[in-house]
Structure 1
Amino acid sequence: MAADSSEEVLRKYVEGIFDRKGLLMHEEVCRFGEIIKSSRARLKFARELDRRRNICLVDENTYHKLLHSVALAFFESVKDENFTAGSILMNMTFTYHYIPKGRRVHDINYSTSGSSRERLRSLMRKLKQNMLCCNDISYINDYNAKKQVDTDSASSQTVVYLYESLNNHVVWKTMGFWEEILLDSVHHERRQRCTLRPWRDLGNVERDEFNAALCNITFGQLTSYLNNMKLLNLSKTARINFLQKQCVIGGIVEGTEMHSTLYNLVTN
């Protein structure tokens, strides 16, 4: 399929995700599954989601369409060992959310319309089957990790984010994912905040300033990612190993305030 054609299919597919009343047809899901095998397509898909993040609170139907699609994109990333879109997709899992009405997926009160009821049941079967064929992926996890937010009323509502239904996804257990997205984010911040000049053209003072800036950038990004790793239930051992390796790469020396702060973040 030509690149332009694939991008148009992705664009329409994302429109279908955010169609509150619409369901994704079997053919659309299958076509998306083929296209998303490309790292370029995954990046395009991630950017389309990011472009629509102003509507981060979605309805239940949209939530589950997002859940299936993002899970599949992550799974293909792991198979491909290419996490170009990883950082954006992870941010989307901490962005999109919905407020359930005291029901789980299998408790949905289907429409009284026979055809609508069958379409929705068919979609739910397809979503669950798609996840059953992916090793180490728990598609729907009973929402045992929930955020409580205050409302204007005396009661509170339970907000469910995408990451909470994806916290057993194999991508989070893949250290290559974390290493690549951290490196990408550090490089991005460095381009934004540092003057990029050849190392040989820098004086000693400028080199010291550059190294200090790089430490600060690495510290900031590590803080964010370590928090995410904890929310995604990565073990303390995995987080400590990741921290130690990235501190060496980023020049954060053991015994410094930065290192102590990061270590306390992991261990406490």
Structure 2
Amino acid sequence: MNTQPIGIFDSGVGGTSLWKEIFALLPHENTIYLADSANAPYGSKSKNEILQLSIKNTEYLLNKNCKLIVVACNTATTNAIDILRSQYKVPFIGIEPAIKPAALNSKTKAIGILATKGTLSSELFHNTSTLYTQGHRVVERIGEGLVELIEAGKANDPLTKALLKTYLDPMIAANIDYLVLGCTHYPYLMPLLLELLPEQVKIIDSGLAVAKQTKVVLDQYDVLNAQNTPSENQFFTNGNPEVMKDLLGGAFNVDVLDF
């Protein structure tokens, strides 16, 4: 079982930002990545739609003999992971916006959160935000249109920059010193974010924390891959494979699924 792959799914290519963290921390673990780009973004869908898509993705990965599943999508985590855990025996790792470290470390007591509608409107997000942001000014913005632009290979397009600026300007006006990225697609906007935000604003996402938690859970279940051989990494999409290839630096093949 130790050599069985880690399964990772997202509403599209964004979760590859999280895959990179897992690959860097666990270079000998085999992985299978599933991008449900044909249904992106999840953030604008109903809770039931998100759940049904998450179940479909999970069962695809389980049929590929995955030993653990990483839900590399904030919206799917906040809306579906509890049900997935109750229905399947395999361990699940989820991802949530990194509100806690941002709130605890903010000096201006003002933080920005850029996420999808599905994440910002979820009960899990609300509970986490309420718990850690008392006494803080929180500027939330739904990043409408950003996922679609990244899925189209336009992460650095002038149109993307102009749209992103409309979401960041109210945060800058509120004197935020932390910006929380609440979608795994958004790390691919880092060059634009660094250009648009004041130098003192720190950008934080959950990628490394999720990779570390993945290692902890594999160890708890005693299924870490003990072999020191190079890992096998498979990537599948029902969207444009060239976009994912580009985000992966051209280093991996991407197979297209009718899924």
What is the TM-score of this pair, normalised by structure 2? 0.29
Q: Name which structure has the greater RCO, CA cutoff 8 Å, separation 6+.
A: 2
Write 1 or 2 for the structure with the bigger share of helix: 1
Rg larger in structure: 1
What is the TM-score of this pair, normalised by structure 1? 0.28
